[in-house]
Amino acid sequence: MKILLDIKDSKGSFVMELLSNLKFVKAKPLTPYKADVLEGISQAVEEMKQIKAGKLKGIAAKDLLNDL
């Protein structure tokens, strides 16, 4: 199982130390770039779920390509 945690910078080293002492846990910090990419993907997936549920209106691919 993979879990993504959002931890304050001031507590990050403490949590990493705690996790590294657990033999059944492999923990490695994300770079700021990877964290931003992951957050963007997560937001996009959430928006897709809302569009499928009818809570948001999507943009047709044809309209999107015409704007380019």
pLDDT at residue 25, rounded to an integer: 94
- List pLDDT tens digits, range 15-40: 999 999 999 999 998 898 998 999 99
Q: What is the 3-state secondary structure of the chain?
A: CCCCCCCCHHHHHHHHHHHHCCCCCCCCCCCHHHHHHHHHHHHHHHHHHHHHCCCCCCCCHHHHHHHC
Kindly state the tokens that stand for 10.
């001031």
CA angle 46, 51, 43 (to 5 degrees): 20
Mean pLDDT score of the chain:
91
pTM for the full model? 0.62
pLDDT at residue 63, rounded to an integer: 87
pLDDT at residue 7, rounded to an integer: 92
